[in-house]
Every structure is written in C-alpha cells, then in structure tokens.
Structure 1
Amino acid sequence: MTQKISIALGSAEDAAKDFIEAWHCAERGETHRGAIEKLYFEDLETLLRVLNQRRWQLLKTLRLAGPTDTPTLSQMLHRNDQEIQTDINELEQSGLILRTAANQIAAPWDVVEAQMKLVPCV
C-alpha cells in the first residue's frame, strides 16, 4: 500500500478544520477523503525553506535506505553529522520524517503530494 503525505499552503485554522472534519468522519465510521496525512505550511517561502534541495535529497535517501541513524545517513549523503542533524530536526518538526520505536529516523512516505492554490477558493 502506498503511503502518501499531502502538503498544502494554509493557515493553522485550515489545519484545524481538516483535523475536525477527519475526526467527525472517524466518529461516524467513515473514511476521510484525501490523504491520511496532511501538512500545512503558512506560505510558499516557508515550504521552500523547510523542503529545500538538500532536505529533499535527504528525504529521498532516507526513504530508499529505510530507518537509520544520523551517522549512517551522513555517510550516504557525504555530509557532516551536524548539517544532517540540523536538517533532520527541521524535517522532523515539520512532520516529514518520523522516529521509530528504536529512535531511528524514517521517511515512511512513498509519495509527497503538494497542493498550492494561486487564488483562494470562493
């Protein structure tokens, strides 16, 4: 089964509305439409700061490698541990990577889907 995470531009209010909708669907025993996981970024600048080219490469490498630790990931990417740890912290805070029960880092997503509206919906 493909694991998908959806990224969208939106406010904390948008995220709260989506959460409440999913909660109500669960209470009714229904499946919530769309991605199971969804992250909201305030604006495009924030999204691009968090998910820059280096971090995108880290995310892809981590997905291919499976759960691992910082030193191993640093070796795979030919970068120093401190730089990798900074990127891991940012991606973990945003919800794009997770920790396993063994405290390894993991990127469980097969698909990262981005949705950015040019104009607000009316």
Structure 2
Amino acid sequence: MRTVTLEIASREKSSRRFLQAFKGEAQGEFISFDSPELLFKVISGKRWQLLKVMTGAGPMTIREAARRMERDVKAVHGDVQVLLKAGILQKTENGLLVFPFDAVHVDFMLRAA
C-alpha cells in the first residue's frame, strides 16, 4: 500500500529529508506545505473530495472524476489544475489523471502562540 503524507514542513526539514534520501535512507512519500493556511488553500473541501474519489482508483479522466463526485466537469477541471500545479495529482503518458496513492496521512501540529 502506497501512503503519502501531507505535512507542514520548514524548508530546513524538507532539505534534511532530501539529504537523508540522497544517502539512501528511505524517507517515505511526502507532499510538504509551508503553512497550514497554504495546505487548506490548495486542498479545499471539494479538492479533498476529489482526492478521496481518486485515492487508490487508478488513472481516470476529468469527466470520470466529475461523474463519481456528481459535480460539473468544468468545476472539477479547475480543481484538477490547482492540484496538478501543486504536484498532488499527476498525468499519465496518455493524459489521464492519477493520484498514485492508496492512502493519505495528514500531519501537522497546532501550538499555542
């Protein structure tokens, strides 16, 4: 099972993980954001729903994703573009969309100011 972790991470933490991976140490799969605000801006409620529909589902068209979500294709297309730009969704060689993970883990901590 492939799991991706969505996390809030400083540039230093991401760089440290990169260096450890470069040394051959397994790090897992991460998509990092600079702040909780950015995470929630990129992955809004409808986009989270899109990820839920695509998790473990394999490659599909935007039209198929919209059908599964019971949403307008044009609206889903806009969400797909944001998630592609953020590196969360990917396109296959034949232009299908894929979220290549079977599970998503979200990791961040809110601390007192």
Place the TM-score, normalised by the shorter chain, in its bin: 0.7 to 0.9
Matched, 1:115 2:107: yes
**Shift of the alpha carbon at 1:78?**
2.2
* Residue type at the aligned position of 1:102: N
Deviations 1:55-111 (A, max 9, x none): 111111123543111122222222222211111111122222211121100111111
Structure 2: state its 5+ residue gaps: none
Aligned equivalent of 1:32? 26
The 8 Å contact of residues 56 and 103 in structure 2, kept in 1 or not, is answered as no
In the alignment, is the contact (CA less than 8 A) between 1:3 and 1:109 conserved in 2? yes
In structure 1, distance between residues paired with 2:87 and 2:64: 21
Aligned-residue CA RMSD in angstroms? 1.8
Tell me the TM-score normalised to structure 2 length: 0.84
Is contact 1:6–1:114 with CA below 8 Å preserved after alignment? yes
Distance 1:64 1:113, change over 3 A: closer
1:92 corresponding residue in structure 2? 84
The count of aligned residue pairs is 111
Range that drifts further, 8-17 or 85-94: 8-17
Give me the TM-score of the superposition, normalised by structure 1: 0.78
Relative to structure 1, is the Cα distance of residues 14 and 71 closer, same or farther in structure 2, using a 3 angstrom cutoff? same
Spell out, residue by residue over 1:29-56, the C-alpha distance to the aligned partner (whole angstroms, 9 max, x if none): xx414x2x11111111111111122111
3-state SS in 2 of match to 1:38? strand
> Runs of 5+ in structure 1 lacking a partner?
26-30
- Is residue 66 of structure 2 the alignment partner of residue 74 of structure 1? yes
Distance 1:112 1:63, change over 3 A: closer
Q: Which amino acid aligns with 1:32?
A: A
1:28 corresponds to: none
